[in-house]
Structure 1
Amino acid sequence: MRITMIGTGYVGLVSGACLADFGHRVTCVDTDAGKIAALHRGEMPIYEPGLEQLVETSVKAGRLDFQTDLSGPVAEADAVFIAVGTPSRRGDGHADLSYVYAAAREIAAALKGFTVVVTKSTVPVGTGDEVERIIREVNPSADVAVASNPEFLREGAAIRDFKHPDRIVVGTSEERARKVMGEVYRPLYLNQAPILYTERRTAELIKYAANAFLATKITFINEIADLAEKVGADVQEVARGIGLDNRIGPKFLNAGPGFGGSCFPKDTRALVKTALDHDVPLRIVEAVLAVNDNRKRAMARKVAAAAGGNLRGKTVAVLGLTFKPETDDMREAPSIPLVTGLLDLGARVRAYDPAGMEPAKHDLPNIGYATDPYDCAHGADVLVIVTEWVQFRALDLARLKNEMAHPVIVDLRNIYRRDEMAALGFTYESIGRGA
């Protein structure tokens, strides 16, 4: 099949590369000429394990191409995916759909023959209706079906998630569109990935509901962690104890400094705004957002308490800046309010991250950046583990202790054992693991 992917951001580039790897002919289109030129040189605009090799293979095989002009690729396509950004709109938290609607107008003008236009971007309920209205307004004679196909990709594991999905959600009532989408994902039949066909608005809501539910699980276990610290329980054992119940499940029950990234904060806010527009307040989701924001700001006070209550003039080493490992994404990362809070408390901050230091410099320009974990720890009064990169899971703890001015570690991801750290002479604080 011939597929056109509008947008070469995280979702568009990963989806386009994976579809090309399936054997489809894919053209990825972006208005950013610099980004397209870089892709032609083999330079990826995002950090995602395995993506560069996947793109290189499909480009060499002639299955994947990159362009700035969508007219030709859209005219030839069986399916056109809209995978542009939908950031939070400034001031009110609604999803900014201007890029989606702009793409719809350009697509409409270029359509030839029956084409399925698919919203891959995360969009509020009813967006597909407006996309269809725009297309029919611009090109009344277009033979088109508009479908919703939300993505469920985890940064750092996106290629595996695309090729081995839990489910594929397709929202359309048009039988011809269902056949086209079935053909798009036919290579996944061998993986027994179920395709769930729904109405378009249902598919749009599934994406938001899924992210809100996962964000709720994270926030729930973080609050239980706070209680565990006070009563002398271990939140990791609590999480295991409840996660073994198959009605609950073990995933997203890792206590930490709060969720961040490009999806959960943005999508939960947009869901709340959509609900309010329809006079259906989502009190649980509203509480999730409030608790998560407060938690990220509270982490600096936790570090100060571990360092004796006063950080003024002290050096804090921060390991991990990105919101999760295996990505360079700094969007709404817990490290940002943490570091900002540390600076407000008078600390000097030095940080190290395997992939996120260049992106971090935009949000955190007033700190030092180290070359490795031990350089980061040199002379530090307290060290904070913020992101659970695999490189931080097997540090030479004896060397780390020798580098530090004071052996104080605040582990916000619970990647080390308390008894091990105590035996090595560290003052060690973690999340939700009481004495």
Structure 2
Amino acid sequence: MHIVMIGTGYVGLVSGACFADFGHHVTCVDKDRAKIDALLDGRIPIFEPGLDDLVASNVAAGRLKFTLDLADVLPQADAVFIAVGTPSRRGDGHADLSYVYAAAEEMAPLLRDGAVVVDKSTVPVGTGDEVEAIIRKARPDLHFSVASNPEFLREGAAIDDFKRPDRVVIGVNDEHAERVLQAIYRPLTRNEAPILVMSRRAAELTKYAANAFLATKISFINEIADLCEKVGADVRDVARGIGSDTRIGARFLQPGPGYGGSCFPKDTLALLKTGQDYAAPLQIVDAVVKVNAQRKQAMGGKVIAALGGETQGKTVALLGLTFKADTDDMRDSPAIDIAASLQAAGITVRAYDPEGMETSKAVIDGLVYCKDSYDALTGADAAVIVTEWDAFRALDLARAKRLMANPLLVDLRNLYSRKDVERHGFTYVAVGR
């Protein structure tokens, strides 16, 4: 298959490289010259484990190419994937679909007869209808299809998720689109990955419903963690007790400082807006959004409380800035709210993250960026684990105590055991324990 991927962001680049690794001929197109130049030079503009090697091997094999010129490659494409950004629109939380519609308008005069246009971007219900209408208006005699194929990739594990998915969702309104997408994903049948075929609108809604449900599990266990602290229970025991129930499942029941990232925050807001538009209010999702916002704001207060309420002249080391490990993504990271709360209280914030330092500099002002964990801990009155990077799971606590002004560890990811930390002379504050 000849595939064109419009957009070389997280979804487009990972998907394009994986499709090429399946044996398809893929061209990734982007308007950002700097990004395309970097890719042509072998430099990957995002951090994702294994992606640099995957891109390099498929470029060398001649299956993966990059270009700025859509007109040069689109007329030969069997399938055109739209993988552009759909950020939250200012003011109402609705997904900004301007990039999706612009892509549809630009591709319309270039599509060959029989081409399948696939929305890979996360889009609200009915977006495929509008994309189809845009192309139909420009090319009323063209035989083409529009499909929905949402992604379910976890940052930090995206390649494995793509190649060994729990499921592949294909939303189509005609048999031709189904045949083309089944052919594209045929290599996955060796892994017995289920391919779920449904209507285009059902596929569009599935993506939002999945992310909203996972966000609900996170907010739920965070509230249970707060209750555990009040009643003297350990949230890890509670999570294990309920997660062992196959109807519930153990994943996404790890308490922490709240969810962030490129998907959950914007997708829950977009789903709420869709519910409002169709007069079907989603009260549970609305509560999840509010709980998560409160959660992230409360974490700074948790650190200040651990300091005994004394903030002037204090220094805190933030270990981790990205919203999760194995990514450089700072979008809606809890670290943003935590740093802001600490700085507003007059606390100096020293920070270290294995991959997110440069990204953070464009998002958070006033941090003291450090070369490693121990540099960040030097002179600190408290250490705060914000992100669950492997680099923070086995700190030399004896060394950390010598470097710090005050041996206080606030573990917002529950990476350590209280016994081990306290044995080294630390005061230990965790979540839900």
Same fold (TM over 0.5): yes
Which residue number corresponds to residue 21 of structure 2?
Answer: 21
Q: List runs of 5+ in structure 1 lacking aligned partners.
A: none
Match status 1:126 vs 2:126: yes
> SS of the residue aligned with 1:284?
helix
> SS of the residue aligned with 1:220?
helix
Which residue number corresponds to residue 312 of structure 2?
Answer: 312
Using the TM superposition, give the Cα deviation of residue 424 of structure 1 relative to its aligned residue in structure 2, in angstroms.
1.1
Q: Which moved more, 1:7-16 or 1:66-75?
A: 66-75
TM-score (norm 2): 0.99
Matches of 2:113 and 2:277 in 1, distance apart?
Answer: 37
Matches of 2:67 and 2:247 in 1, distance apart?
Answer: 46
Give matches, 1:73-112, under 5 Å: 73-112=73-112
Using the TM superposition, give the Cα deviation of residue 432 of structure 1 relative to its aligned residue in structure 2, in angstroms.
0.1
Which residue number corresponds to residue 49 of structure 2?
Answer: 49
Matches of 2:310 and 2:97 in 1, distance apart?
Answer: 45
> SS of the residue aligned with 2:362?
helix
TM-score (norm 1): 0.99
Contact 1:125 1:201 in 2 (8 A): yes
Give matches, 1:234-313, under 5 Å: 234-313=234-313
Equivalent position amino acid for 1:359 in 2? T
Matches of 1:273 and 1:349 in 2, distance apart?
Answer: 36
Using the TM superposition, give the Cα deviation of residue 353 of structure 1 relative to its aligned residue in structure 2, in angstroms.
0.1
Matches of 1:135 and 1:45 in 2, distance apart?
Answer: 31
Using the TM superposition, give the Cα deviation of residue 141 of structure 1 relative to its aligned residue in structure 2, in angstroms.
1.9
Match status 1:2 vs 2:2: yes
Matches of 2:21 and 2:112 in 1, distance apart?
Answer: 26
Match status 1:354 vs 2:386: no
Q: Which moved more, 1:253-262 or 1:104-113?
A: 104-113
Using the TM superposition, give the Cα deviation of residue 357 of structure 1 relative to its aligned residue in structure 2, in angstroms.
0.5
Which residue number corresponds to residue 154 of structure 1?
Answer: 154
Which residue number corresponds to residue 325 of structure 1?
Answer: 325
> SS of the residue aligned with 1:143?
coil
Matches of 1:198 and 1:73 in 2, distance apart?
Answer: 29
Match status 1:139 vs 2:142: no
Matches of 2:123 and 2:238 in 1, distance apart?
Answer: 35
Displaced runs of 4+ in structure 1, greater than 6 A?
Answer: none
Contact 1:330 1:360 in 2 (8 A): yes
Matches of 2:73 and 2:146 in 1, distance apart?
Answer: 17
Which residue number corresponds to residue 59 of structure 1?
Answer: 59
Using the TM superposition, give the Cα deviation of residue 367 of structure 1 relative to its aligned residue in structure 2, in angstroms.
1.1
Matches of 2:312 and 2:154 in 1, distance apart?
Answer: 38
Using the TM superposition, give the Cα deviation of residue 173 of structure 1 relative to its aligned residue in structure 2, in angstroms.
2.1
Matches of 1:405 and 1:256 in 2, distance apart?
Answer: 26
Matches of 2:34 and 2:45 in 1, distance apart?
Answer: 10
Identity of aligned residues (%): 65
Equivalent position amino acid for 1:285 in 2? V
Matches of 1:14 and 1:143 in 2, distance apart?
Answer: 29
Report the number of matched residues: 433
1:163-193 deviation line (CA, Å, top 9, x unaligned): 0000000000211111100100011010001
Which residue number corresponds to residue 35 of structure 1?
Answer: 35
Using the TM superposition, give the Cα deviation of residue 365 of structure 1 relative to its aligned residue in structure 2, in angstroms.
2.1
Q: What's the Cα RMSD here?
A: 0.6
Using the TM superposition, give the Cα deviation of residue 6 of structure 1 relative to its aligned residue in structure 2, in angstroms.
0.3
Using the TM superposition, give the Cα deviation of residue 138 of structure 1 relative to its aligned residue in structure 2, in angstroms.
1.2
Using the TM superposition, give the Cα deviation of residue 310 of structure 1 relative to its aligned residue in structure 2, in angstroms.
1.6
Which residue number corresponds to residue 422 of structure 2?
Answer: 422
Matches of 1:423 and 1:35 in 2, distance apart?
Answer: 49
Equivalent position amino acid for 1:326 in 2? D
> SS of the residue aligned with 2:318?
strand
Matches of 2:248 and 2:76 in 1, distance apart?
Answer: 46
Contact 1:258 1:292 in 2 (8 A): yes
1:283-342 deviation line (CA, Å, top 9, x unaligned): 100000001001100101100111111212100000000000000000000000000000
Q: Which moved more, 1:9-18 or 1:65-74?
A: 65-74
> SS of the residue aligned with 1:197?
strand
Matches of 2:287 and 2:52 in 1, distance apart?
Answer: 39
Equivalent position amino acid for 1:112 in 2? R
